[in-house]
Amino acid sequence: MTPFLLVLSAPSGAGKTRIKDMLLQGRDDVAYSVSATTRPPREGEVNGRSYHFLTRQEFERRRDAGEFAEWAPYAGNLYGTLKSELARIVAQGRHPVLDIEVEGARQLREHYDNAVLVFVLPPSGRTLVERLIGRNTEPRDAVAHRLRRAAEELAAVSEYDYAVVNDDLTTAVAQVASILDAETRRVSRQQGLPDGLGQLQQDIEAAVRRIEHDARYAEEAAPSPRRE
Ligand code: 5GP
């Protein structure tokens, strides 16, 4: 199996994080790519698990050293995917799952030919607004900023490979899982397939030879019709 990047993007409040968490809980062929950010940790967030929290200086130093597969500014902070994070997951034979905004997804699309881009949509604008305000983790102006950005991000859906509407969480997770399964089965990603096919062909040819041999033997062994 050739690992590919499963990129999830969504406007804030579409429920992408919960989809990602549920998807990761249920399967061991994927692993979360922990992003780096200059944003301060929110309550309950753990360094190295939620994000790699970096100072702006450290982020910029690593960015300038070419350590990021992609990066983008968002709401006054910098976010990025470290190449080392992707390499670590791929070395485990797993598909990295990335939770990133659209500018970063564009960069991955440009530089990686094995990225599968999934956009998660809220069922309606009202749901999105309610979810964001209900989250209550940020001041109102930050919420307004996220909403404005959400409206802009929606325009990027056409650049993605798949769109999933998060009306019901369980259904949305199942839909992302089915995308993952289908993409895993692309012939180009099944490295073991050529060997397996070769064996299959050999088995069939051997069976044909056996049948033809048996048929010839039966013909020879059969008594020839008596001449009068
Ligand atoms: P939050 O601050 O709510 O955790 O994330 C804000 C936005 O940054 C979300 O849209 C999230 O998907 C995006 N984001 C998180 N990590 C990355 C990353 O590594 N790269 C990019 N481009 N965006 C990210």
Q: Which atom of ligand 1 is nearest to the CA of 12?
A: 10
Instruction: Work out the pLDDT band at 104, boundaries 50, 70, 90.
Output: very high
Find all residues with CB under 8 Å of 40, minimum gap 6, and list them.
53
Q: How far does residue 84's CA lie from ligand 1's centre (Å)?
A: 18
At residue 228, the pLDDT reads: 58
What's the pLDDT band for 226 if we cut at 50, 70, 90?
low
Confidence of residue 134 (pLDDT cuts 50, 70, 90): confident
Hey, how many other C-beta atoms are within 10 angstroms of the C-beta on 166? Answer: 24
145 CA to centre of ligand 1 in angstroms: 14
Q: Is the CB of 52 under 6 A from ligand 1?
A: no
pLDDT one-digit tens code per residue, 73-94: 998 999 999 999 999 999 999 9
Q: In CATH, which of 1.10.357.10, 3.40.50.300, 3.60.60.10, 3.20.20.70 is domain 5-189?
A: 3.40.50.300
- Render pLDDT for 113-126 as a digit per residue (tens, 0 to 9): 999 999 999 988 88
Return the domain boundaries, the chain: 5-189
**Which residue has 């994927």 as its token pair?**
30
Q: Does position 1 have pLDDT exceeding 90, yes or no? A: no
214 CA distance to ligand 1 middle (Å) = 67
What is the best residue among 79, 81, 97, 107 to mutate for testing ligand 1's pocket, by most ligand atoms within 8 Å of CB?
A: 79
The structure's pTM equals: 0.87
pLDDT in tens, 198-211: 888 999 999 999 99
Cα distances (angstroms) measured from residue 84 to each of 2, 35, 62, 113: 18, 11, 11, 18
39 lines ligand 1 (CB under 6 A): yes
Tens digits of residue pLDDT in 29-88: 999 999 999 999 999 999 999 999 999 999 999 999 999 999 999 989 999 999 999 999
Which whole number is the average pLDDT over 106-115? 95
Say yes or no to pLDDT of 110 above 80.
yes
79 lines ligand 1 (CB under 6 A): yes
CA dist 94 and 64 (Å) reads 28
CA distance 121 to 9: 9
